Structure 1
Amino acid sequence: MADNALGRFLRARREATAPPTTERRRTPGLRRGELADRAGISVEYLTRLERGTDRSPSGQVLAALADALGMTADERIHLYRLVKAGSTCAPPPPPPLRPTVQALLDALAPTAAAVLDPAGDVLACTETFRTISGLGDERNVVRFAFSPAGKAHYPDWEQVAHDRAAALRAAADLGDHAASTLAFELSITVGEAFTSRYDAVGALPPATGTERWGAFLVAFETAYLSGGGENRLIVYFSQH
């Protein structure tokens, strides 16, 4: 991360945040101690972050700072991008989808169906899935579920959000790098609405059941594909 962009941004937001009192101060905004108390971290650690001597804070720390600073959704996304810009680790590209799996999807049309990787990325899907899923340009079902568009799309959002968080947690706990990276992202960009569900997961997500997508009630069945990678085929049967 060039020129300590993360530390500079945190300090600028701290200095732009209204202090808890109206007393006259020599410096604007919150003092480091006040922000550290709000975020539940030490002043020493906050100092290291602002000075750039520590450039690898956890998602929990960044989410706590974002909450303490009252960051907007756009500011949270910018904060995550600053951290991501400082990372030199790039995940390997996903293996190509087997032609037989694509042929299976083609045979399932016009039924809604999709192949997802462990992190929830849509690797391939039928046109019906694309139409009723609400994803639009988003290619990850977990990120979509925790977006404003996702919350509006799912009438039973609480249950859908719980299940998407559970699926991501299961993948991350099994060592999937993309799932862990997405969990880190959402802990910053979404905050407590995501972390409260992700941290509290106590069971695997359902492999079958029903969900409401907009005006559609869909029943789904999940089949895990052979060949490694833990990719799964999910078929959705519209009930309405």
Structure 2
Amino acid sequence: MSTPLGDFIRTKRDSVQPESLGLPERGRRRSPGLRRLDLAARAGISVEYLTRIEQGRDRNPSVSIVNALADALSLDPAERVHLRYLAKISGGECTAHPRPAPTSPAREVRPTIRETLRLLEPGIAAVSNRLGYVLAHTPGYASVMGASGLLDADAPNLTRYVFTDPAARTFFVDWDVIADEQAFDLWLAPSAEGSQWITSELGPLAGPDFTKRLNRHVVPARGVLRLDHPSGRRLDFNRETLELACDDQQLVVFLPADEATATSLEQLRRPGTGRLRAIS
């Protein structure tokens, strides 16, 4: 049975073109990307050992092996962090002391974080957990997201909205990018591997496209967020994400990326513009 670590290494190997690493072209082959032979040689390990890692038969590679694979694949810093994280959780599946049963990420927002949101007004900011639940937000966030339908649910969830609401595909100009971001964040949730919510609720609703993205391990670049707002305005935002590590939550602040967006925001904040919701 494969592991997230093996899936990620195999996916990255398939995406690397040999010539980009200065390797000679070895003629046509059935699958794209880097051969196991070449990756193993670059990492200084045997092909048989690399095969065991990719297939999940060896779940505890040493730190030096993980780092060697990262170097061999020329991973960027974010991908290296993800590789080490996957090595940690894949190894945990095979230890003598089983990991604690998965717990649901906290949905309570600390009073000091709510006060931080208040101080950010009239800015656009929200607190969410790794499963995508929008736990609290500023009125400015509602002025942007309210008309999209995201906040209509009793428990708004951005991941569920992206994968199951057709409106999301027009609201997010770069829907594919946002879908990859939301799928990737599920790996970082405390219950990412065995969450009942993922397997029994989101998975059946979202379908195979969600499952494919989840297992592809695309580390998102998180560039400019581009929205096609229902009001007819185009909104572009830079995002700053602050990790609330002790809560397994994130505080995301949205900043206008250009003057046109800043002007449109002023218009959206006017009374009677869009559908507004109070802070969660």
Tell me the TM-score normalized by structure 2: 0.47
Alpha-carbon distance between aligned partners in 2 of 1:222 and 1:170, rounded to the nearest angstrom: 14
Offset, 1:193: 1.9
Work out whether residues 209 and 221 of structure 1, in 8 Å CA contact, stay in contact via their aligned partners in 2: no
Which blocks of at least 5 consecutive residues in structure 1 are unaligned? Answer: 1-90
Q: Deviations over 1:79-103 (max 9, x none)?
A: xxxxxxxxxxxx7694632211111
Q: Secondary structure at the match of 1:222?
A: strand
The answer to whether 1:110 aligns with 2:125 is no
Pairs within 5 Å for 1:92-103: 94=106, 96-103=108-115
Structure 1 counterpart of 2:255: 237
The code of the aligned residue for 1:219 comes to N
Match of 1:127 among 135, 139, 143: 139
Alpha-carbon distance between aligned partners in 1 of 2:216 and 2:105, rounded to the nearest angstrom: 30
Structure 2 counterpart of 1:212: 226
Q: Deviations over 1:152-210 (max 9, x none)?
A: 21111111111111111332xx4358x8233222221121221111111143x45x531
Pairs within 5 Å for 1:177-216: 180-184=195-199, 185-203=201-219, 205-206=220-221, 209-214=223-228, 215-216=234-235
Alpha-carbon distance between aligned partners in 2 of 1:181 and 1:101, rounded to the nearest angstrom: 28
Pairs within 5 Å for 1:1-240: 94=106, 96-133=108-145, 134=148, 135-138=150-153, 139-146=156-163, 147-171=165-189, 174-176=190-192, 180-184=195-199, 185-203=201-219, 205-206=220-221, 209-214=223-228, 215-226=234-245, 228-239=246-257, 240=261
Work out whether residues 203 and 210 of structure 2, in 8 Å CA contact, stay in contact via their aligned partners in 1: yes
Alpha-carbon distance between aligned partners in 2 of 1:229 and 1:213, rounded to the nearest angstrom: 29
The code of the aligned residue for 1:96 comes to E
Which blocks of at least 5 consecutive residues in structure 2 are unaligned? Answer: 1-102, 229-233, 262-280
Alpha-carbon distance between aligned partners in 1 of 2:188 and 2:216, rounded to the nearest angstrom: 12
Work out whether residues 129 and 249 of structure 2, in 8 Å CA contact, stay in contact via their aligned partners in 1: yes
The code of the aligned residue for 1:121 comes to Y
The code of the aligned residue for 1:210 comes to V
Q: Secondary structure at the match of 1:148?
A: coil
Work out whether residues 97 and 123 of structure 1, in 8 Å CA contact, stay in contact via their aligned partners in 2: yes
Aligned residue pair count: 146
User: Structure 1 residues 202, 96: CA separation in 2 closer, same or farther (over 3 Å shift)?
Assistant: closer
User: Structure 1 residues 229, 176: CA separation in 2 closer, same or farther (over 3 Å shift)?
Assistant: farther
User: Structure 1 residues 101, 148: CA separation in 2 closer, same or farther (over 3 Å shift)?
Assistant: same
Structure 2 counterpart of 1:35: none
